[in-house]
Chain A
Amino acid sequence: MKFSSKLGGALLAAAMSATALSGAFAADDTIKIGVLHSLSGTMAISETTLKDAMLMLVEQQNKKGGLLGKKLEAVVVDPASDWPLFAEKARQLISQDKVAAVFGCWTSSSRKSVLPVFEELNSILFYPVQYEGEESSRNIFYTGAAPNQQAIPAVDYLANEEGVERWVLAGTDYVYPQTTNKILKAYLMSKGVAESDIMVNYTPFGHSDWQTIVSDIKKFGSAGKKTAVVSTINGDANVPFYKELGNQGVKAEDIPVVAFSVGEEELAGLDTKPLVGHLAAWNYFQSVDSEVNAEFIKEWHAFTKNDKRVTNDPMEAAYIGFNAWVKAVEAAGTTDTDAVLDSIIGVSVPNLSGGTSTVMPNHHITKPVLIGEIQADGQFEIVQQTPSVVGDEWSDYLPDSKNLISDWRKPMSCGNFNVDTGKCGGKGS
């Protein structure tokens, strides 16, 4: 009897420390932050890296003396690529572990799943991935790119530099590609591209047989006008897509592909020699030539004890988000949500491309847009860099949202202010 209760106690303790990793016996002299990234399931491929990046940032901050005289402590949970579980784990982080802020999510589905939790429990989420826009929450900071910080400059580059007149918009069938393609289509048509010169194509998650689609792209491209593919194809499906492009001989000089979800990490599983010249648009590439980036890469290699690990854009977004939060907490003198929400607006922190990024009143940040071409070594050669662009949450090219703006400063404090009617509360939240 005694034995079994002891065993039970031990099991319970083990379970507790497993959920909160090292945080089971946290004292008051630490500030806890939540890391909400999938470590198992389909999204683990992308999100594990961000978890490691967050742990590195916390370690660095602690080496610098912590925050407000206290040590930072990361509480890592695994929502296992399961969208409802994201909401559950977020609730656990905020109510049980009492974290000061959460850094996490990757897919838009997971963000939409946790959004009501953060608003209900009044906590802060930093979301580090490029997304489709059309959303603004008081409790979420979007440090990844909005469509105007990635998709639109990329299309402009192709139209101006490569003379593209015919467009294939290919994407995975879910909310990010659908919304991005809707915005792009409206944008292209506003620039005078005929509807017959735009082909939209969706494929299921993890699509692996690209023969028909690549051959359709070739067919679409043989109509006599310069053609390009704008790809919002999601992670896993990219490797077979690019392999098929290479095998069917679609060369970047003839039909370039510009991708919004393909970075250094995704190329790691590929022989990139047949893909040289295909493009990607991000706000950061590992090949960025700046001192702060060189330092960041060195620390990343040291932290992961692997000098082959690549860095990527969402890591930079996590870096900016974390540093902005640290600066805002220092300015406010507390980790209290309302105080930090006030103090973070206008905060400027260095980004990895050598400039600074500022948190804007619409909870998006400013950053430059980089266009890169894939190289034979799996890195990107930057062929264009724009000045800093402010993230635009409500696209100006969609009829539903072009009248909306977001400003979370008092007295407006509104995520969807309609400039036509002068009232808060349009479409969305």
Chain B
Amino acid sequence: MRITSLFAAFFALLLVSLAAPSFAQQPVDPKPLIDQLAKANFSQAEDLIGKMAAAGDARVVPVLQAFTDGDLYVRKTDNLVFIGKTAGNGFELVEPLTGESAGQVAKNAVTKIKVNNSLRRAIRSAMGGLTLLSPDRSVRLQAADAVMRSPSSENLELIEAALAKETDAEVKARMEEARAVSVLSSDRSVEEKRDAIQTIKDLGGRNALGILNTISGSIDPALTADVEAAVAALQSEQQLWDMAQNIWYGLSLGSVLLLAAIGLAITFGVMGIINMAHGEMVMLGAYSTFVVQQVIRDSAPALFEWSLAIALPVAFLVTGAVGFLIERGVIRFLYGRPLETLLATWGVSLILQQAIRSIFGPTNQEVGNPSWMTGSFPLGGMTITWNRMWIILFSLSIFFALLFLMKKSAYGLNMRAVTQNRRMASSMGIRTPWVDALTFALGSGIAGIAGVALSQIDNVSPNLGQSYIIDSFMVVVFGGVGNLWGTLVGALSLGVLNKFLEPSVGAVLGKILVLVLIILFIQKRPRGLFALKGRAVEA
């Protein structure tokens, strides 16, 4: 009994959603329109899309979706249009309106119907109008957005019909905004338009500004003052948000610098090794991520969302092991000879780069972004991208974990003892060579972890490390050698400084200015922001 009533309700909804738009017009069979797409050029196709939208038959929605996705094909034998899905070496053809299978064909038996940006815009607008009454809440939200991006008088009627039926508060608000945009480009009365301007102003943000700017040229003279006032209000609001946005970008750049530099803060900062192969450790971490993702794609695609979490320990172990080998094989013979260390590690970096180039090839490798790392969300007038936000959180947690390890663990105590006074530490029974090797491995391992995060925002190519090595040294020297807090403050302040210079002087000059400022700063304070004090410094 309950099930049947549910069914009934569902069908009623479906009926309403299918039938409502077609009350206005005579029902037109969309099939011939679809088949005309076979021979249409871009502008003819645009007309056809307009006619399909005007016919108001919701059955064309999947067809339009397939069109915009590039999945619409013409069968060469009879010039009929089908939705095609890749199946084996050919396509599985589906009847566009009924969804019935029309059999499988070879790739060369069909031609794809081309789609370009203006067609995609037309389809977006048409689909927006057609799906406003969809039973699915998220589809309705999308539809309202689509109508907002492509206002037209036909869409205005549709959205008003939809508004009358809408019950969900969020969808309703979105539809009100979409309606306001459509009102402004229609021939409605001045009063109605004035209300619409107010609605858009309340919406706020860059989009609202864009909408008002677009219509300001063609608006009724009686409303010019209203539009200008709204634009001015939005602009001054936007200026504050721009400031906040700049700080956010600065923190984000700073967190990337922190990630790149934090491993070096250990190998160079704590141990005093000028490690030119540090960037290559970052690169190895990124390639570990690539390999992990390859394995996951081949054997367990379901785990892809977790690929970064799996890559973290793998990258740490791989680069830590490589770091261990470098320390045992090269660096331990060169303690106290910084110039030779510099040359030797530079040589190692070239060897690692060319090795990766020989194994994986010189071209970029594709490291995918899990869905939680893609896209953005609005925060007031700013746009926050997910990948940057996770990277900020990630770099801070790495920093604090490392700080904890150094200050609170027995190993950290040994490490600090060895770096401050090697002979004393040795005479207290600490195995100093072993601590050296582990510390270098730790620094390299952390660089590897940084590589996992950087693979999400940068190229994964053999040159990845080179672009970070200068920045890393800059951060460590600026923050104060041997001081983790200095690295944190140094990285974040360089990031913010860079991002405040960039909008006014450009990215190229901004970078140069930052370098000049650091040189001047080092002249004044040769030991960086947070200089170590006490006898340890002299040793």
Interface residues of chain A, those whose CB is within 8 Å of chain B, are 39-42, 44-45, 48-49, 161-162, 173, 201-204, 206-209, 211-213, 215-216, 218-219, 221-225, 236, 239-240, 243-244, 246-249, 252-254, 256, 265-266, 268-271, 274, 276-277, 373, 375-376, 381, 383
Report whether B120 and A222 are in contact in the complex, using a CB–CB cutoff of 8 Å: no
Q: Find chain A residues with CB under 8 A from B506 CB.
A: 201-202
Given A224-B214, A269-B364, the answer on whether A373 and B375 have CB atoms closer than 8 Å is no
Q: Find chain A residues with CB under 8 A from B149 CB.
A: 253-254
9-residue interface stretch from B16-24, B336-344, B457-465: B457-465
Report whether B383 and A240 are in contact in the complex, using a CB–CB cutoff of 8 Å: no
Q: Does B216 contact A (CB under 8 A)?
A: yes
Q: Find chain B residues with CB under 8 A from A40 CB.
A: 353-354, 357
9-residue interface stretch from B204-212, B433-441, B530-538: B204-212
B369-420 residues with Cβ-Cβ distance < 8 A to A are 369, 374-376, 383, 385-388
Q: In whole Å, how far is B93's beta carbon from the nearest beta carbon of chain A?
A: 19
Residue of A202, A216, A244, A383 touching B114 (CB-CB under 8 A): A383
Q: Find chain A residues with CB under 8 A from B164 CB.
A: none
Report whether A222 and B366 are in contact in the complex, using a CB–CB cutoff of 8 Å: no
Bound form: Cα–Cα A316–B451 in Å:
36
Contact pattern, B 247-263, Cβ under 8 Å of A = 1, otherwise 0: 00100110010000000
Q: Find chain A residues with CB under 8 A from B466 CB.
A: 42
The 5 closest A-B pairs by CB, nearest first: A269-B364, A224-B213, A222-B210, A224-B214, A44-B362
Residue of B120, B209, B460 touching A277 (CB-CB under 8 A): B120
Count, chain B residues at interface, CB 8 A = 63
Bound form: Cα–Cα A373–B252 in Å:
31
B500-517 residues with Cβ-Cβ distance < 8 A to A are 502-503, 506-508, 511
Bound form: Cα–Cα A337–B505 in Å:
49
Q: Does B70 contact A (CB under 8 A)?
A: yes
By beta carbon, the residue of chain A nearest B507 is A203
Residue of A41, A206, A252, A270 touching B117 (CB-CB under 8 A): A252
Bound form: Cα–Cα A261–B380 in Å:
36
Bound form: Cα–Cα A248–B353 in Å:
32
Residue of A212, A236, A256, A373 touching B463 (CB-CB under 8 A): A236
Could you say which of A204, A224, A376 has the most chain B C-beta atoms within 10 Å of its C-beta? A224
Report whether B376 and A249 are in contact in the complex, using a CB–CB cutoff of 8 Å: yes
Q: Find chain A residues with CB under 8 A from B374 CB.
A: 246-247, 274
Given A203-B507, A224-B216, the answer on whether A236 and B70 have CB atoms closer than 8 Å is no
Q: In whole Å, how far is A178's beta carbon from the nearest beta carbon of chain B?
A: 11
Report whether A248 and B253 are in contact in the complex, using a CB–CB cutoff of 8 Å: no
By beta carbon, the residue of chain A nearest B216 is A224
Q: Does B499 contact A (CB under 8 A)?
A: yes
Could you say which of B124, B212, B368, B467 has the most chain A C-beta atoms within 10 Å of its C-beta? B467
By beta carbon, the residue of chain A nearest B71 is A376
Report whether A253 and B461 are in contact in the complex, using a CB–CB cutoff of 8 Å: no
Report whether A247 and B357 are in contact in the complex, using a CB–CB cutoff of 8 Å: no
Report whether A207 and B507 are in contact in the complex, using a CB–CB cutoff of 8 Å: yes
Report whether B467 and A44 are in contact in the complex, using a CB–CB cutoff of 8 Å: no
Q: Find chain B residues with CB under 8 A from A213 CB.
A: 502, 507
By beta carbon, the residue of chain B nearest A238 is B459
Report whether B246 and A212 are in contact in the complex, using a CB–CB cutoff of 8 Å: yes
Residue of B215, B364, B499, B508 touching A202 (CB-CB under 8 A): B508
